[in-house]
Amino acid sequence: MRHGTNLLASMEGMSRTAFLIVQELSQAGRSGLTPALLAKKLEIPQEEVEYFVDVHHGVMYTNLTRICLSSGGLGLARRVQGGLASRGDASFLLEHVRALGDAALQRLEERLGLDGSASKTALALAVLHLLYKTPATIETHIRTGAYSPLARSVFQRLLESDTGSIRMETLRREFAAGSTALEAALQELISDYVLFEKFRFDDEGFLYRSFSLLQELRDFLFSGNDERPAAADMPPPHKGVIEEQRSEGMCFTDLLGRITAAIAARPCRIRKGSTSLDSDAALFKEDRARLEEIISEDHDPPLRAFMDAAYQLGWIKNTDNLCVVCDVAPLLEFSLLERHRLVVRRLTGGQHASDYGLLIRASATLQPEQWYSIHDFARFALSQDDSTGTYALRRTDTGYAYVAPQPARMRYETLCRLLSQHLTWLGLVERCYCDGEACFRVSALGRRLFSDPPSAGHAEGYSVSSGTLVVQPNFEIMAALEQMDPLRTIPLHIFAETDGKGSVGVFRLTRERFMRALQQGHDPAAFLAFLKENSRSPLPENVVITLEDWLRSAKRIRLRTYHVIESDDPMVIAELAHHRKWNGHFTAVNEKKLLRYEGLTRQALEEELEKDGYIIR
């Protein structure tokens, strides 16, 4: 170890010409080259060749008429050549790991605790991910790994440097440890790809040795291009004149229920091939116009937002070429406030869940009933988020680089949009203009829903009337639609025909509509219970008897799919029907041509029949 260290140290300070001699000798092998041939190859005087051999006698020597490398010189020359070619970046790391031999790979797997069954490419990527997934990953690895104190000190010295790179002579001068101990510490870090050894020629043409961190990590730590936002102070409240104040309350959930009820009354036709992602754009003109009677064309939020929300909540779905209502019966057990809480949780838990969470956490520091600038608050919230600076090492068009999950500017714009639109639509914040600047404040509803656990009180301010129905003997049902929960009108829309519009809805029970609801799979018993629960007075006897008669007169059938075995040979059919192996699985449909089978998969049956010599077409 000491001899190799001294030999390596003797290479430092070597001139470019001397190293070219060493390089030529390493290519010639153990036999060496004559001084005359070396001088001819390098186009230098022979005396100069002999001079460099005398100066660097530890690396090369004269063997009678030839110049040869010493016993450790060949490996040292290859090491320096590798150091000269080393870029110290992620691509170099991957190439180096893939080029390792089996023994070296096994030692690397044991040191880093990696899966030995993976391919070389997968192992190289695993090393890169383990050590450099984020800028802080390598520091954690050094802190928790089995490294010597001297190795940790050397790594910390490179982190504290100005460029992430340091020369060997600087390390010798700053660390009092002997050269052997220092080389051992450096080898710990080099073998685990924590540091990268490089050899370069200085401006005067002399060889020097240096060590550096991963190039991508250096670019991130020392380039000064960090996009993380600077810390922002808490914005002060606005004290100007308030204009165009907007407070939505729970209108979003209420209108969402009315849209769902309208679709339940008459399913909307959608264009062929459309999905829920197409939302209102997939609706036919007639159905769109019908829904725009509830949500006008210039309404904010637009109809598309309500359709997207209904799909996301699972209140509506596409069946064939129709948009129909799903089973929303469980929602009827909740008050409007509880239902609105469910809507808020679902809609704020999607793609922008982290952004919503950031705004909610930052809003806890705001003073109640005070207006704040939307843009100033977005900057403040962004500066409070630790994840904004969590860069990750990813492949780019030019190689690898630490890339932010989302540029700070883009996320700032996202936060502003969520405050001015989505959170306002959901009634969690109120919006206004104060001296011409867009401002907001957390609403009373927002404070209630943001509290964890939910705060007590205010429940009476958000109660919703279940409404009452008047069921008449002529099979008409009168409903005060403006006072009713929109979702509670869905059973009426499904089982009855709508006869009127306005604040009072008129529904007519007909046999055709009732049968159509049964054909669609709706529960008649639940509908009858709904009428009894919400009717102002007991149901007329003739209505109950008629509904029960309609239910008893319904002709119910079941459609089932069976698989059959067909053969033109009656003997084959008879043989299969009476074989003990198939007892209980085959039933004769036509004793001479067809057998029905059940309790077996088609694949299992085919395998067994082919084993018995049957030819299946």
In Å, what is the CA distance from 527 to each residue of 464, 488, 541?
21, 11, 16
Residue 356 has pLDDT above 60, yes or no: yes
Mean local confidence (pLDDT), 335-359 = 85
Whether the Cβ atoms of residue 490 and residue 325 lie closer than 8 Å to each other: yes
Residue 425 has pLDDT above 90, yes or no: yes
Share of the chain above pLDDT 70, in %: 90
d(CA 479, CA 69) in angstroms, rounded, equals: 103
For residue range 4-17, list pLDDT tens digits in order: 567 777 778 888 88
Whether the Cβ atoms of residue 334 and residue 342 lie closer than 8 Å to each other: yes
- CA Rg value for the chain: 40
Where residue 133 falls among pLDDT bands split at 50, 70, 90?
confident
Cβ neighbors of 527 (< 8 A, separation 6 or more) are 491, 494, 495, 517
Where residue 240 falls among pLDDT bands split at 50, 70, 90?
confident
Contacts 24+ apart (CB under 8 A), 182-189: 182/150, 182/154, 183/1, 183/5, 183/8, 184/1, 184/148, 184/150, 185/148, 185/150, 185/151, 185/153, 185/154, 186/151, 186/154, 186/211, 188/147, 188/148, 188/151, 189/147, 189/151, 189/154, 189/155
d(CA 193, CA 213) in angstroms, rounded, equals: 9
Share of the chain above pLDDT 90, in %: 10
Say what the pLDDT of residue 457 is: 43
Tell the residue number behind the tokens 């070597």, with chain if given.
14
Q: What are phi and psi of 608, to 5 degrees?
A: -70, -40
Mean local confidence (pLDDT), 76-84 = 86
The residue that leads in pLDDT, 70 or 474, is 474
Residue 468 has pLDDT above 50, yes or no: yes
Residue 542 has pLDDT above 90, yes or no: yes
d(CA 428, CA 430) in angstroms, rounded, equals: 7
Are 2-81 and 86-222 equal in CATH topology?
Answer: yes
Question: CA torsion angle for 502, 504, 505, 507 (degrees, to 10)?
Answer: -150
Residue 467 has pLDDT above 60, yes or no: no
Whether the Cβ atoms of residue 527 and residue 495 lie closer than 8 Å to each other: yes
CA atoms within 13 A on the CB side of 468: 6
DSSP letter for each residue of 112-156: HT--TTS-HHHHHHHHHHHHHSSTTHHHHHHHHS---HHHHHHHH
Q: 2-81 adopts what CATH topology?
A: Arc Repressor Mutant, subunit A (1.10.10)
Order of strands across the sheet that contains 322-325: 268-269, 322-325, 316-319
For residue range 257-313, list pLDDT tens digits in order: 889 988 888 888 887 766 554 555 678 888 888 888 888 888 888 999 999 999 989
- In this structure, what token pair is assigned to residue 548? 């029960």
d(CA 88, CA 82) in angstroms, rounded, equals: 11
For residue range 145-178, list pLDDT tens digits in order: 888 889 999 999 888 888 888 898 888 888 876 7
Which residues are registered as beta bridge partners of 248? none
Q: What are phi and psi of 166, to 5 degrees?
A: -150, 145
Residue 113 has pLDDT above 90, yes or no: no
Where residue 232 falls among pLDDT bands split at 50, 70, 90?
low
- Domains in the chain: boundaries: 2-81, 86-222, 231-463, 469-552, 563-611
Tell the residue number behind the tokens 């609801």, with chain if given.
517
Other Cβ atoms less than 10 A from the Cβ of 306: the count is 23
| Window from 3-12, 184-193, 394-403, 438-447 with minimum mean pLDDT | 3-12
The residue that leads in pLDDT, 571 or 483, is 571
d(CA 212, CA 197) in angstroms, rounded, equals: 7
d(CA 145, CA 130) in angstroms, rounded, equals: 12
Say if residue 29 is exposed, middle or buried (CB neighbours under 10 Å; 0-12, 13-18, 19+).
exposed
Whether the Cβ atoms of residue 258 and residue 487 lie closer than 8 Å to each other: no
Please tell me whether residue 610 adopts helix, strand or coil conformation: helix
d(CA 56, CA 266) in angstroms, rounded, equals: 95
Mean local confidence (pLDDT), 105-113 = 80
Please tell me whether residue 21 adopts helix, strand or coil conformation: helix
Say if residue 550 is exposed, middle or buried (CB neighbours under 10 Å; 0-12, 13-18, 19+).
middle
- In this structure, what token pair is assigned to residue 317? 């779905």
Q: What is the mean pLDDT of the chain?
A: 83
Say what the pLDDT of residue 407 is: 64
d(CA 502, CA 521) in angstroms, rounded, equals: 29
CA atoms within 13 A on the CB side of 538: 3
For residue range 29-53, list pLDDT tens digits in order: 778 889 899 899 888 999 998 898 8
For residue range 367-390, list pLDDT tens digits in order: 888 999 999 898 888 877 755 556
- Domain 86-222 in CATH 3.90.1410.10? The answer is no
Question: CA torsion angle for 441, 447, 449, 452 (degrees, to 10)?
Answer: 130
d(CA 613, CA 610) in angstroms, rounded, equals: 5
